[in-house]
């Protein structure tokens, strides 16, 4: 079963779908939606089959495929997935149909073409799957850059009032990062023996001169830090997240930003182990600042979508400290966090989108007591908020806990400061919920006809799988950790760090 | 003394140039002999046939495999020569499609008689309906022939003659716009004056180099550079003056100032011809001079030309941001691209040679498509090139806007376009050649110049159409073909660049 070319088919399938949907005439909007949904479900089914075919105890990289592309540069269409990529691919496959269904009515409000929107979503899925499935740095870079294009048009054409500004800012920030990475990719190609193959490069990586490696690391890291985004490269995200349609925003923070943290884990750490260790203190500081700073900004936000974007930046700080703690627990926690954050924040964005669509405004102050009008929807928002603040029993709790203990074993100070982020998370989520759904009813709300309609069947179908998964992984994360753990251990081995956890444990036992 | 020996002439090697010059002369005759009504068709057919025949001649010569110098060392026929000649012919053919387009407006892009006073009754009449000049075809053929000679010239005098042969027709062609004729004539005059200065510098440089090396063939110069017998001052002064002449043609800072004015004023198909073909010719000659003749002093000119490259990229990128006219924007973009090309040249290794040649071809196709699109956006007064006029064109003509967006993404170096692969190639070669600092600047300027491109994309798609938004004309057959070729080449060289990369690698071997 492992000979089946899962990854290339999985990558190309949405592209074909995008082309098909793009050619559906504007008048047949419903058909376009159905085709897009069906197509993303086929991708989901294929991903599930791939998940089953993945051998948990097997090789680190599985489903490897490689086809010639540009022989003189040794750039190849090489696909391979380790456990980290596998869970991310699965997350993508799950989120896309949900987002497509959640965006069912979004586009009608603008005057733009419906098939175009769904074609762009599928094109975006193509680039997302490609970027996680690539095992050739050239190919990875190609996907890393072209994923901007569908998202740029989604934000720019279908977004909110400040969409032009947000789209351009988003594109330029990412492009700047991408070009830093381009310089690093070229440098790596030259010093790494004229190949782009990830496997070969990890072997020759040790021979790279120390200073060169640090510069190259920096090139990659800046690109990923902008993408993630880490403080201080984060300012594009609130604009983009605030302006994007809710579904697209869910994908933006749920999937696309993970490319940054995934890139650090997959490329920065194994390729430049010494440089990673050298830069780790700086990265940790940035991550911790990000946790606190973004959480404080989130507390002060009056725009729901911007608020969720800021919470997301804070969460990426957690992922960052987990990665740069260089412990298996921290790393596993981070990867798990990437998945759970995709589910929880994706859900939060989608639910916020439902509120915004009803009220016609993003502003927290335009709500107030909405729970009295749409009790079920308010309940879902409450659940999404709790998941987002990592309440025990929801999936994000496990990952946040793992990250914190993984970090605590090596960097107590950072772990302690980061824990303060949890308190702030409770503050921004609960205040947001209080000001929108609880308290006295905003007298304007009953005059908005759409606010009288509670959650619809379609919306129930949208949120149900996410809620289920969040609860399931909150109690039983083993299916995920079994896949993630070996990959993270292998990555930590590449970095050349011993897991300190057992040592610390022994000391404690000794005491 | 006395017995003059005629050098051996390899007619097969010279055939492409001879064909083009022959066709150009035939075109001049046709001006006289063919009745006016059918003149355009005859000239166009003649020009295409000439280019096709010349291209076949190049292919035949590639097949027979002989490389070397001929007519007494004046012309070198080697991999780069043949590759660049082939590239010039293909790009020239595509330019010719734009030049030959007559369906976009009555009579085509060119003035019916260049001597009519601007603004007079006759001028109004000619702009209205009279058929355009057909002398443009022989002029184009002369220019192309000169370019072919320029990239193959193996001694400095031949190179100078070739420079003049291709420059003079271009000066003329610039002045022949049907509308905005004053702008066009001003552009031509500016180009001519500055171009003559540049030629004079070049010639002065040739004289100094002759004084230094006692010969004008590149092989002799190479000898003298490796074993200097005379004062090095002559060498450096001569090289500097030669370089000024070439930098001018290649539009490299600080010799780029003519570019925006000329690109804006010249008839758009001629701008396309200059942006694509002149660039190939100028860089072809620059490569040959630096790689063949002055390789021995590479450590001396590398930092100087490196500074020129950085300056060019910065000037092009920064000034592109402030432009409000599409043709000027593309002109500054072409300046920035000249900077990237120079980065490739300065790698001074075989990769540098092959990647520069790859870049020239890739950029040529994209820029032809870009200017081809500019010819389509029109209102009652001809082309509407002001940026603000392009707002909202994506709503009215999505296919057109998508095409232009794609080309802009290629200029910005987004993957899956030739802009990315070619940039990757030159930057890779430069890092290989130890010129990492140039690559750093290249990357930084790529970020800067992405902004103006993106601004145009925003204009096209995200802005609301204004009342005065011009229409996008339905392109005629030839413009459509040129656009299709340009866009498909941009896509193909981005997705499957391997064949052309291999071709440039095989060709990357100069003879002396």
CB contact under 8 A, B443 and A149: no
For A334-418, list the strands marked E by DSSP: none
DSSP string, B98-109: HHH--SSSTT-S
Q: How far is A333 from A492, CA to CA, in rounded Å? A: 13
What pLDDT score was predicted for residue B66? Answer: 81
CB contact under 8 A, B501 and A72: yes
Interface test with B, best of A19, A149, A157, A190 (most B CBs within 10 A): A190
- What residues in A contact B505, CB-CB < 8 Å? 72
- What residues in B contact A110, CB-CB < 8 Å? none
Interchain CB contact of B453 with A (< 8 Å): no
CB contact under 8 A, B412 and A175: yes
Q: Least CB-CB distance to A186: which of B427, B462, B498? A: B427
CB contact under 8 A, B428 and A186: yes
Q: Chain A to chain B, count of Cβ pairs less than 8 Å apart?
A: 82
Domain residue ranges in chain B: 11-507
What pLDDT score was predicted for residue B476? Answer: 86
CB atoms within 10 A of CB A164: 18
CB contact under 8 A, A179 and B431: no
What pLDDT score was predicted for residue B5? Answer: 77
What percent of chain A is predicted at pLDDT more than 70? Answer: 96
CA B468 centroid distance within chain: 33
With residues binned 3-state (H G I as helix, E B as strand, rest as coil), the percentages for chain A, rounded to 5, are 75, 5, 20
What pLDDT score was predicted for residue A2? Answer: 59
B172-204 confidence digits (pLDDT tens):
999 999 888 899 999 999 999 999 999 999 999
Q: B511: alpha, beta or left, given left = phi > 0 and alpha = psi -120 to 50?
A: beta
Query: Which two three-digit tokens encode residue A492?
Result: 């930590």
CB contact under 8 A, A72 and B505: yes
Q: How far is B204 from B160, CA to CA, in rounded Å? A: 11
- Residues within 8 A of B (CB atoms), A 20-79 only: 68-73
Interchain CB contact of A19 with B (< 8 Å): no
**B459 to chain A: closest CA residue:** A164
- What residues in B contact A189, CB-CB < 8 Å? 428
Query: Which two three-digit tokens encode residue B354?
Result: 């092959």
Q: Report the SS3 class of residue A70.
A: strand
Q: How far is A388 from A47, CA to CA, in rounded Å? A: 26
Q: Least CB-CB distance to B498: which of A71, A143, A148? A: A71
CB contact under 8 A, A187 and B431: yes
Does residue A507 have a pLDDT over 70?
A: no
What is the torsion angle, in degrees rounded to the nearest 10, for the CA atoms of residue A420, residue A424, residue A430 and residue A435? 160
B155-176 confidence digits (pLDDT tens):
999 999 999 999 999 999 999 9
Does residue A509 have a pLDDT over 70?
A: no
Interface test with B, best of A71, A183, A191, A195 (most B CBs within 10 A): A183
Distance from CA of B487 to the nearest CA of A (A): 18
Query: Which two three-digit tokens encode residue B71?
Result: 């007519």
**Segment (H or E) for B384:** none
What is the torsion angle, in degrees rounded to the nearest 10, for the CA atoms of residue A456, residue A460, residue A463 and residue A464? 170
- Residues within 8 A of B (CB atoms), A 432-461 only: none
What pLDDT score was predicted for residue A99? Answer: 93
What pLDDT score was predicted for residue A352? Answer: 92
CB contact under 8 A, A183 and B454: no
pLDDT band at A114 (very low <50, low <70, confident <90, very high): confident
A319-375 confidence digits (pLDDT tens):
999 999 988 889 999 999 999 999 999 999 999 999 888 888 888 888 888 888 888
Nearest CA to B104 among B138, B132, B134, B137? B132
Interchain CB contact of B233 with A (< 8 Å): no
Does residue A422 have a pLDDT over 50?
A: yes
Helix H segments across B65-180?
79-100, 121-129, 136-152, 156-174
**Residue B169: half-sphere exposure toward Cβ, Cα within 13 Å:** 24
Q: Least CB-CB distance to A146: which of B415, B436, B458? A: B415
Interchain CB contact of B402 with A (< 8 Å): no
CB B390 within 8 Å of CB B374: no
Query: Which two three-digit tokens encode residue A478?
Result: 């083993």
What pLDDT score was predicted for residue A502? Answer: 52
**HEC string for B68-83:** EEECCCCEEECHHHHH
Nearest CA to B383 among B394, B398, B373, B392? B373
Q: How far is B283 from A364, CA to CA, in rounded Å? A: 60
CB contact under 8 A, B447 and A179: yes
Interface test with A, best of B444, B498, B501, B506 (most A CBs within 10 A): B498
Query: Which two three-digit tokens encode residue A3?
Result: 């000979």
What percent of chain A is predicted at pLDDT more than 90? Answer: 51
Q: How far is A349 from A369, CA to CA, in rounded Å? A: 19
pLDDT band at A108 (very low <50, low <70, confident <90, very high): confident
- What residues in B contact A173, CB-CB < 8 Å? none
Helix H segments across B214-267?
218-226, 232-250, 258-265
Rg (CA), chain A: 22
What pLDDT score was predicted for residue B2? Answer: 58
Stretch A47-59: mean pLDDT, rounded?
89
What is the torsion angle, in degrees rounded to the nearest 10, for the CA atoms of residue B15, residue B20, residue B26 and residue B28? -150
Does residue A506 have a pLDDT over 60?
A: no
Interchain CB contact of B462 with A (< 8 Å): yes
Q: How far is B113 from B132, CA to CA, in rounded Å? A: 7
CB contact under 8 A, B427 and A182: yes
CB A36 within 8 Å of CB A100: yes
What pLDDT score was predicted for residue A438? Answer: 87
Does residue A504 have a pLDDT over 50?
A: no
- Residues within 8 A of B (CB atoms), A 177-206 only: 179-180, 182-183, 186-187, 189-190
Nearest CA to B338 among B215, B452, B246? B246
Q: Least CB-CB distance to A171: which of B416, B443, B454? A: B454
Q: Measured between alpha carbons, how far apart are the two ends of chain B, in Å?
A: 27
Stretch B443-463: mean pLDDT, rounded?
89
Residues sharing a CB contact under 8 Å with residue A43, sequence separation 6 or more, in sequence order: A10, A13, A14, A17, A93, A96, A125, A129
Query: Which two three-digit tokens encode residue B428?
Result: 């890779």
CB contact under 8 A, B462 and A180: no
CB atoms within 10 A of CB A396: 28
**A159 to chain B: closest CA residue:** B462
**B436 to chain A: closest CA residue:** A187
CB contact under 8 A, A172 and B454: yes
Does residue A510 have a pLDDT over 60?
A: no
Interchain CB contact of B451 with A (< 8 Å): yes
Query: Which residue is associated with the tokens 């010059």?
Result: B21
B137-158 confidence digits (pLDDT tens):
999 999 999 999 999 999 999 9
Q: How far is A53 from B109, CA to CA, in rounded Å? A: 63
CA A467 centroid distance within chain: 18
- Across chain B, mean pLDDT equals 91
**A68 to chain B: closest CA residue:** B498
CB B284 within 8 Å of CB B412: no
Distance from CA of A173 to the nearest CA of B (A): 9
Does residue B4 have a pLDDT over 80?
A: no
Does residue A47 have a pLDDT over 80?
A: yes
Q: Least CB-CB distance to A146: which of B416, B424, B463? A: B416
Q: Least CB-CB distance to A186: which of B416, B439, B505? A: B439
B234-272 confidence digits (pLDDT tens):
999 999 999 999 999 999 989 999 999 999 999 999 999
CB B473 within 8 Å of CB B376: yes
What is the ipTM score, two decimals? Answer: 0.91
Q: Least CB-CB distance to B461: which of A146, A157, A179? A: A157
β-sheet bridge partners, residue B68: B77
Q: Least CB-CB distance to A183: which of B412, B439, B496? A: B439
Q: How far is A29 from A113, CA to CA, in rounded Å? A: 8
CB contact under 8 A, B451 and A145: no
Interchain CB contact of A153 with B (< 8 Å): yes
Does residue B504 have a pLDDT over 60?
A: yes
Distance from CA of A70 to the nearest CA of B (A): 5
- What residues in B contact A187, CB-CB < 8 Å? 431, 436
B102-125 confidence digits (pLDDT tens):
888 877 888 888 888 888 888 888
Nearest CA to B400 among B463, B487, B493? B487
CB contact under 8 A, B415 and A145: yes
CB contact under 8 A, A72 and B502: yes
Q: Least CB-CB distance to A146: which of B414, B428, B446? A: B414
Q: How far is B295 from B148, CA to CA, in rounded Å? A: 23
Q: Least CB-CB distance to B446: which of A142, A149, A179? A: A179
CB contact under 8 A, A179 and B497: no
Interchain CB contact of B412 with A (< 8 Å): yes
Nearest CA to B69 among B81, B58, B57? B81
CB contact under 8 A, A142 and B450: no
Q: How far is B255 from B305, CA to CA, in rounded Å? A: 13
CB A380 within 8 Å of CB A455: yes
Q: How far is A172 from A169, CA to CA, in rounded Å? A: 5
**Segment (H or E) for A448:** none
CB A112 within 8 Å of CB A93: no
């Amino acid at each position: 079963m492992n000979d089946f070319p899962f990854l290339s088919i999985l990558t190309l399938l949405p592209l074909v779908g995008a082309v098909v949907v793009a050619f559906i005439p504007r008048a047949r909007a419903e058909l376009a939606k159905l085709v897009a949904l069906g197509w993303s479900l086929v991708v989901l089914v294929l991903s599930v089959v791939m998940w089953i075919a993945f051998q948990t105890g097997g090789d680190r990289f599985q489903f490897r495929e490689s086809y010639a592309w540009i022989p003189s540069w040794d750039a190849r269409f090489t696909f391979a997935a380790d456990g980290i990529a596998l869970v991310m691919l699965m997350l993508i496959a799950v989120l896309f149909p949900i987002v497509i269904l959640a965006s069912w009515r979004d586009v009608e409000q603008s005057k733009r073409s419906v098939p175009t929107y769904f074609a762009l979503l599928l094109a975006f899925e193509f680039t997302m799957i490609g970027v996680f499935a690539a095992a050739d740095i050239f190919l990875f870079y190609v996907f890393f850059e072209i994923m901007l294009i569908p998202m740029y048009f989604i934000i720019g054409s279908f977004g909110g009032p400040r969409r032009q500004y947000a789209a351009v800012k988003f594109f330029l920030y990412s492009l700047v990062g991408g070009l830093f990475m381009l310089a690093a990719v070229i440098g790596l190609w030259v010093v790494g023996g004229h190949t782009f193959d990830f496997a070969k490069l990890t072997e020759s990586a040790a021979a790279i001169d120390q200073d060169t490696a640090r510069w190259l690391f920096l090139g990659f890291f800046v690109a990923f830090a902008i993408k993630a985004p880490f403080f201080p490269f984060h300012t594009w995200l609130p604009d983009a997240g605030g302006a994007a349609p809710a579904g697209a925003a869910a994908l933006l923070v749920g999937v696309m930003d993970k490319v940054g943290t995934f890139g650090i884990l997959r490329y920065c750490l194994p390729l430049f182990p010494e440089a990673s260790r050298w830069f780790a203190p700086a990265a940790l500081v940035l991550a911790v600042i990000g946790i606190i700073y973004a959480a404080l900004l989130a507390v002060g936000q009056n725009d729901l979508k911007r608020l969720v974007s800021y919470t997301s930046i804070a969460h990426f700080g957690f992922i960052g400290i987990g990665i740069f703690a260089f412990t298996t627990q921290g790393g596993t926690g981070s990867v798990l966090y990437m998945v759970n954050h995709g589910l929880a924040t994706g859900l939060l964005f989608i639910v916020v989108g439902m509120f915004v669509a009803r009220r016609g405004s993003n502003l927290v102050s335009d709500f107030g007591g909405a729970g009295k009008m749409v009790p079920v929807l308010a309940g879902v928002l409450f659940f999404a908020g709790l998941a987002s603040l990592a309440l025990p029993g929801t999936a994000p709790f496990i990952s946040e806990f793992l990250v914190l203990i993984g970090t605590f074993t090596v960097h107590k100070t950072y772990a302690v400061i980061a824990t303060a982020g949890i308190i702030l998370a409770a503050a921004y989520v609960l205040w947001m919920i209080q000001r929108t759904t609880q308290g006295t009813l905003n007298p304007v709300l009953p005059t908005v006809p759409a606010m009288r309609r509670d959650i619809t069947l379609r919306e129930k179908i949208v949120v149900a799988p996410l809620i289920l998964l969040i609860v399931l992984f909150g109690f039983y994360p083993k299916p995920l950790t079994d896949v993630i753990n070996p990959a993270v251990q292998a990555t930590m081995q590449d970095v050349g760090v011993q897991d300190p956890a057992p040592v610390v444990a022994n000391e404690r036992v000794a005491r | 003394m006395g017995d003059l020996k005629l050098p051996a002439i390899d007619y097969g090697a010279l055939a492409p140039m001879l064909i083009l010059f022959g066709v150009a002369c035939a075109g001049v005759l046709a001006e006289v002999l063919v009745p006016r009504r059918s003149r355009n068709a005859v000239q166009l057919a003649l020009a295409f046939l000439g280019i096709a025949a010349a291209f076949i001649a190049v292919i035949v010569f590639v097949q027979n495999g002989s490389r070397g110098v001929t007519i007494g060392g004046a012309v070198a026929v080697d991999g780069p020569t043949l590759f660049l000649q082939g590239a010039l012919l293909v790009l020239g053919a595509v330019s010719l499609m734009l030049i030959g387009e007559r369906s976009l407006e009555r009579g085509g892009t060119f003035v019916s008689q260049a001597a009519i006073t601007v603004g007079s009754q006759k001028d109004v009449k000619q702009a209205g309906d009279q058929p355009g000049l057909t002398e443009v075809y022989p002029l184009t053929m002369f220019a192309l022939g000169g370019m072919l000679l320029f990239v193959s010239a193996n001694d400095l005098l031949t190179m100078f003659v070739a420079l003049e042969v291709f420059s003079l027709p271009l000066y003329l062609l610039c002045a022949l716009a049907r509308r905005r004729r004053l702008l066009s004539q001003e552009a031509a005059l500016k180009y001519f004056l500055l171009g003559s200065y540049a030629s004079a510098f070049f010639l002065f440089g040739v004289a100094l180099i002759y004084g230094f090396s006692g010969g004008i063939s590149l092989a002799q110069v190479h000898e003298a550079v490796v074993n200097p017998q005379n004062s090095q001052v002559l060498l450096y002064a001569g090289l500097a003056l030669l370089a000024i002449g070439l930098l001018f043609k290649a539009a490299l800072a600080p010799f780029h100032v003519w570019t925006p004015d000329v690109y804006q004023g010249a008839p758009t198909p001629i701008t396309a011809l200059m942006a694509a073909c002149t660039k190939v010719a100028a860089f072809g000659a620059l490569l040959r001079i630096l790689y063949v003749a002055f390789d021995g002093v590479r450590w001396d000119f590398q930092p100087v030309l490196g500074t020129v490259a950085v300056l060019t990229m910065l000037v092009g990128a920064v000034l592109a941001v402030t432009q409000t006219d599409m043709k000027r924007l593309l002109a500054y973009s072409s300046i920035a691209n000249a900077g990237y090309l120079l980065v490739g040249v300065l790698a001074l290794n075989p990769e540098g040679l092959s990647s520069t040649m790859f870049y020239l071809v890739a950029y040529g196709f994209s820029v032809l498509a870009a200017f081809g699109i500019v010819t389509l956006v029109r209102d009652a007064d001809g082309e509407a090139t002001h940026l603000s006029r392009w707002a909202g064109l994506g709503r009215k003509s999505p296919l057109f806007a998508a095409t232009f967006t794609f080309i802009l993404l290629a200029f910005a170096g987004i993957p899956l376009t030739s802009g990315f692969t070619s940039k990757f190639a030159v930057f890779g070669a430069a890092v290989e050649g130890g010129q990492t600092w140039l690559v750093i600047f290249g990357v930084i300027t790529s970020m800067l110049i992405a902004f103006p491109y993106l601004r145009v994309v925003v204009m096209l798609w995200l802005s609301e159409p204004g009342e005065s938004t011009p229409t996008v004309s339905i392109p005629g057959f030839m413009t459509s073909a040129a656009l299709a070729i340009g866009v498909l080449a941009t896509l193909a060289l981005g997705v499957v660049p391997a064949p052309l990369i291999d071709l440039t690698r095989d060709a990357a071997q100069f003879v002396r």
